[in-house]
Structure 1
Amino acid sequence: MQTQKITSIELGRLIAIFVVVAMHCQMFLTYFLYQDTPWVGLIFNQSTRFAVPLFFLISGYLIQPKLTAAPMETLNSYCAPLIRVFLVWSVICLLMPFNLQTVVTEGYLVERSGYWGYLAQAPINSMLEGGLVHLWFIPALMFAALISAVLIKADKVRLLLPIAIVLYVYGVLAGSYQNITELWTPFFTRNGPFFSTLMFTIGFMIRQKNIQATALQGALMALVGMALHFTEAYLLVEYEQSFNSNDFLFGTMLWGTGVFLFLLAKPNLGNSPWVSNLSKSVLPIYVAHLPIIIVMMNVTGALQLTGPAKDAAVLSGTILLTLLLVKGIEKTPLNRWLFR
């Protein structure tokens, strides 16, 4: 069993979290237009879609030894803090106003009631996303761990990969491909177990079976997966699927897996103190960054910033304020409640 941290994985987690932050800043969408379409922004958006799959892959890889040895005990200890973080940040996001101008002109309850009403229109989906859309990652991760633990406990681990593949295929066909397939779905398939389970399982299997690849093989797999993802996204535009609304496609699985295998093949990549220090804060940065983006959107709106100036201000301000918030809270007793 490996006990020493693989620094390349820690670096990968850091790159992924800042890629997610940049994507949520909605950059390049009002300029660099081609025939009134912000293709630079749309391409940038989709170029970030390896990041969340990488989080799931790393989670499955890291938890495999403990989950195999003591599935239910590990599940309980793994999910308990995640549930707490999910609930606490859901409450924070439900109470936090998104439009400060509306609060000033019409009042807090008017501003919040619109958002609360929006969430109430799809209660199951809202439960899986929590108080703000980015929190969907936490329940999805817990679903993947739960399915894995139950199958391991029942001595049916051989069923894990087939079940995960079925969930993933259904998730894609009932998600981005829904305009073609017209498959029914109880909620937005990015949420829940549909995509997280396969990515988690692949990471789990790579560790369990000691699967290895060279850096070149990992990079080639990532490039093939990325090309397939972009091809799918482009072709789906013909079926009224927005180019930048694809979280997971069939190629995304190969893309994320290739990036992960590349990182495993370069275990000493990122071997520096700042990587070790910041990598401990990946989950805190994840849960805290979107509320900070909302604050920065209000600030840039009040300053009437537009175009590249707005994007630069939102991105830099979000990174700076999020790191200050996270590192500050980590030094207080609130850390246990807010950040696991």
Structure 2
Amino acid sequence: MQQVTNKSEKITSFEFARVIALLAVISIHGQLFMDYGYIGEEPWLNFITNQAARFAVPLFFVIAGYLIYPKLNASPYTTAKNYSTPLMIIWFIWSLICLALPFNLGVVAEHGYLAERTGYWGYLMQAPLNSLFEGGLVHLWFIPSLVIAVFMIAWFVDNKCRSLMLPFAVIFYIYGLAAGSYNVLTEMETPIFTRNGPFFSFLMVAIGFEARRHQWRMSVGKALLLAAAGMAIHFAEAYYLHGHGQVFNLNDFLLGTSIWGAGLMFFLLAKPNLGKHPIWLSLGKWVLPIYVIHLLVTIYMTNIVAILGVETVAADAIVFFGTIIGSVILMFIIEKTPLSFANLRRIKFGKNKAACREA
């Protein structure tokens, strides 16, 4: 690993990678290949593709940490506030929207809107603290987790103890693993899912932050080797834990996941012009809005599949491609309203209004 000088120009490979990562997240939430590709009595095609897509969120986090470094290092709390305010406004508004919109149209048709919604609200209230860290729909956990990680890094910067940041982040990560996927072995309990809060996000954002601070780089070959090693460790852990009762496709992060995400970041830094095309730069700025919107669209695509009685490959195609197309259309419609993501990003941001785009 060698040091290089900072570059001010946009890292186009990051924009390209964020779009690919978004597609990976959509594939996870679309639950592709669940009805076929079985080995024995288990959907191994889903298990493998689901976990293969788990690079996505770690990559979002490390890229965010890398991009926010200059401002966060120079003005920690001011930057953290400016960065987080529009994100949390987006999270709050879309949590309310997700709490209001019905998910199961069949229940609405048979029993009415309130019956469908009260069932969902009751489900959230079974774990109110976890729901607070998550929001109105499960995928929104990403935003408060990112915000918490940014403020934690700001604390280490402000107190001039940056060298302690990664060790503490590793401790949080290991605790999150022990009480998360490794719970089947440790039997440790926490009041929130350890994917939420700082357990996952702190280390990944800190890796990106520290890579920028120390100007770390790797060659393409070494970065790919690191990413491949991390992916292999992740899959080995998932297989081992599956034998002890942790279902293979329910692992949000494992020990190897952080190595996997770091390796991919170093690969993208070694290939900064990867995806250097106007289309990827244009799509990159819509990653956050589509991420926020997409799961609602996935839910309604699943309703459509159920109404049509479609199964297997056709059902997956409708859900996956319908989510992509529907999310893009819905995003452009929303951009014409007061709830425009562009408008929300400008709230209380002043000169720092571009910072939210680094999320």
Normalising to structure 2: TM-score of the pair?
Answer: 0.93
Report if aligned partners of 1:151, 1:160 keep a CA contact under 8 Å in 2. Answer: yes
Percent of residue pairs identical: 51
Aligned to 2:262: 257
The equivalent position to 2:290 in structure 1, one of 261, 285, 308, is 285
1:238 and 2:238 aligned: no
Moved more, 117-126 or 28-37: 28-37
Partner of 1:146: 151
Aligned to 2:353: none
Counterpart position of 2:49? 44
Alpha-carbon shift at residue 339 of structure 1 (Å) = 5.7
Hey, what does 1:107 align to over in structure 2? 112
Report the equivalent of 2:349: none
Indicate if the aligned counterparts of 1:71 and 1:153 stay in contact, CA closer than 8 A.
Answer: yes
Return closer, same or farther for 1:333/1:95 CA change in 2, 3 Å cut-off. Answer: closer
SS at match of 1:305: coil
Aligned to 2:135: 130
Structure 2 Cα separation of the partners of residues 5 and 187 of structure 1: 37
Q: What is the CA deviation profile of residues 77-107 of structure 1, one whole-angstrom value per residue up to 9, with x for unaligned ones?
A: 0000011011001001001101011101100
Which secondary structure state, in structure 1, belongs to the residue aligned with residue 54 of structure 2?
coil
Q: Deviations over 1:156-212 (max 9, x none)?
A: 212111110100011111100011112231211000000100000000011000000
Deviation at 1:328, TM superposition (A): 3.1
- Which ranges in structure 1 are unaligned for 5 or more consecutive residues? none
Residue 108 of structure 1 aligns with an amino acid whose one-letter code is Y
- Give 1:48-127 correspondences, 5 Å limit: 48-127=53-132
Once residues 322 and 9 of structure 1 are traced to their aligned partners in structure 2, the CA distance between those partners, rounded to angstroms, is 21
Give the SS at the match of 1:48. helix
Tell me, yes or no, if structure 1 residue 323 matches structure 2 residue 307.
no
Residue matched to 1:224: 229
Residues 1:167 and 2:172 aligned together: yes
Kept after mapping to 2: 8 A contact 1:88/1:337: no
Residue 325 of structure 1 and its aligned partner are, at CA, apart by 1.3
Looking at structure 2, the residues matched to 337 and 320 of structure 1 have their Cα atoms a distance apart, in angstroms, of 20
Matched residue type, 1:329: I
SS across alignment from 1:26 = coil
**Distance change >3 Å, CA 59–CA 219, structure 1 → 2:** same
In structure 1, which of residues 211, 215, 234 is the aligned counterpart of residue 216 of structure 2? 211
Partner of 1:97, secondary structure, is coil
Q: Matches of 1:186 and 1:41 in 2, distance apart?
A: 29
Q: CA shift at 1:216, angstroms?
A: 0.8
Aligned partner (choices 172, 186, 189) of residue 194 of structure 2: 189
- Give the drift of 1:2: 3.4
